[in-house]
Amino acid sequence: MTVTLGSNYLGNDRCEFTVWAPTLKDVAVVIADEDKQRAIAMEQQAEGYWKATAEGITPGTRYFYRLDGDLMRPDPAAHLQPDGVHGASAVVDPNAFSWSDRSWCNLPLEEYIIYELHVGTFTPEGTFEAIIPRLGVLKELGINAIEIMPVAQFPGDRNWGYDGVFPFAVQNSYGGPDKLKQFVDACHQQGIAVIIDVVYNHLGPEGNYLGDFGPYFTNKYRPLWGDAMNFDEEYSDGVRNFFIENALYWLREYHIDALRLDAIQAIFEMGARPFLQQLSDAVADLSEQEGRKFYITAESDLNDVRVLRPKELGGYGLDSQWCDDFHHVLHTLLTGESDRYYQDFGQIQQLVKSFKEGFVYDGVYAPHRKRRHGNSSKDQPAHQFIVFSQNHDQTGNRIGGDRLSDLISFDGLKLAAATVLLSPFLPFLFMGEEYGETAPFLYFVSHSDPDLIEAIRQDKQKEFTQGLKSGKFNNPQDVNTFNQCKLNWEKHQQGQHQILWNFYRRLIELRRTVPALKKLSKETLDCSCLKAENLLWVRRWTENSQVFYVINFSTNPVKFEPNVPEGNWQKILDSSEESWKGPGASLPDVIQPQKSISIPPLTVAVYQISG
């Protein structure tokens, strides 16, 4: 049972305040009215909680907590920081918004087609409300799940979101609580699920006041992004409650359908009951209470199936996770890059292994890591793996923030789309890739501390230039860095951008209408390659449906014999056709087993058995 935190508006100008501060001797709520201030003493509760119920509190009322008589701080569990991370918190009426999604009950996870977007750069306005008019286009494309990068309050008005310091507060510059609800409600009206990205491994540096309230952090571990969260030492129960209540808050109050947990490899603990397992149990309980399924997906570079296994088998019980190996081998095949972690990839047989199992590194030696890495995922269901050719990290952590559209040819972009969308896993698109967006996605911030700004600039410049190809460094604090990243949305209706958009739509249509592609299963899949020729072929089937597709990653034509059963194999997609801005179709409309055919360079072709 979790303890509800923050300001809980009860109606009739009454509000209950709850804060966790186990080591303090005196805590009060200070109402920050314009004409006067009043302090309300809080009563100490069990296990370090403080509580007070106040009269004369209306939605929008500003308040601070006064700690041990003099230190004034915003609420760690504030629902809104209208004046930014250093200002007063504001009371929010959770019932002020009228939902119209009563009939919505989420989608089966295996049907998700995920589209990641950053609220600030997806539209010129950079708000939740401005996204809504574009939902129809995404729906037409075939998207049915939108994943938004973190929207918990961060410093300033532009940031990736992973520097958030108020996990319960909806970013004010994006529109705040009601506008987020409006966005989610509109998505549900379109049949689109909403995934929100949450960060439970660290908080950002500016406006991070949690340490003033209690032992939220520990120096027991040495993470990359500041002090680790205290999930296993003294008082860790309160820290766990804070983040578990946060997860439930997004699902319950904002009707979010799934959570994406950022970088779980940076959640450090040694407890007997892992935090992630406890979180999974809490979300499962909420699913049962609400009568609809909520999902938890994770970003993890551990290649550890304990993330996905149920707790009865010693796992954490999460629903799915990102499969970085799939991206890395696809990226290296398309670009030829071999710097950083890409040196561990680049072989077509690795893509075969990923198609069949998920993880490429399953306990084998990884040269970049200089050790063996991972364990086997071959027994995990296919729908537990999320695959992509691009995402915010893989684009934004390049010195120029360059997308695949700047790195490979138009034919290569079609191969990237087909490899992801024809896979047996959950496909994930990064905003703009569906039409070949050319605007970069750079790293950007808007801090107020000059020393912090300079430290970030130096750190990112060093990071970007170590082991990377040369390119122009963009100062993260410069507003022009942010502005460069705004999508050129109108391009999706122009020239080859529209052709690529239509190609993505066709692939998604095939995935949703062809039974053999719709069924996500490793057991009904056969995959192999011609190693020297960089040719991949895949056959997938159900009882009444079979498809065979071949992807030529080579810049040369490749002759091969289709390894298919007897039947009438009809071509249903060929990226070399002129309609897809290819050189012209040369593949036969019908293929026969063991009869040689030649596939053009950088081409994908799909055949379906009929009759």
How far, CA to CA in Å, does 187 sit from each of 13, 119, 193, 219?
32, 14, 7, 41
**Given 185, 232, 299, 301, which residue is catalytic?**
299
- 574 catalytic? Reply is no
Asked if 162 and 114 touch (Cβ cutoff 8 Å), the reply is: no
Rounded CA gap, 380 and 366, in Å?
Answer: 22
The two tokens of residue 31 are 């109402």
Helix extents (H) in 156-208: 176-189
Q: How many residues does the chain have?
A: 611
DSSP conformation letters of 507-556: HHHHHHHSHHHHS--STTEEEEEETTTTEEEEEEEETTEEEEEEEE-SSS
The two tokens of residue 265 are 């490899």
Using DSSP's 3-state secondary structure scheme, residue 402 falls into coil
Rounded CA gap, 425 and 382, in Å?
Answer: 5
10 Å Cβ neighbour count for 394?
Answer: 18
Helix extents (H) in 339-403: 348-357, 392-396
Using DSSP's 3-state secondary structure scheme, residue 90 falls into strand
Checking DSSP bridges between strand 603-610 and strand 545-552, what pairing results, if any?
A: antiparallel
Closest CA to 605 of 411, 336, 434, 425: 411
**Given 197, 232, 262, 301, which residue is catalytic?**
262
Segment (H or E) for 407: helix 404-407
List CB contacts of 294: < 8 A, sequence separation 6 or more: 106, 251, 256, 257, 258, 259, 283, 286, 287
Q: Which long-range contacts (CB under 8 A, 24 or more apart) does 373-380 make?
A: 373/303, 374/302, 374/303, 374/304, 375/303, 375/304, 375/305, 376/305, 377/303, 377/305, 377/308, 378/522, 379/305, 380/305, 380/308, 380/309
Closest CA to 61 of 35, 92, 17, 94: 92
**Residue 375 identity (one-letter amino acid):** N
- 299 catalytic? Reply is yes
Q: Indicate which residues carry an active-site annotation.
A: 262, 299
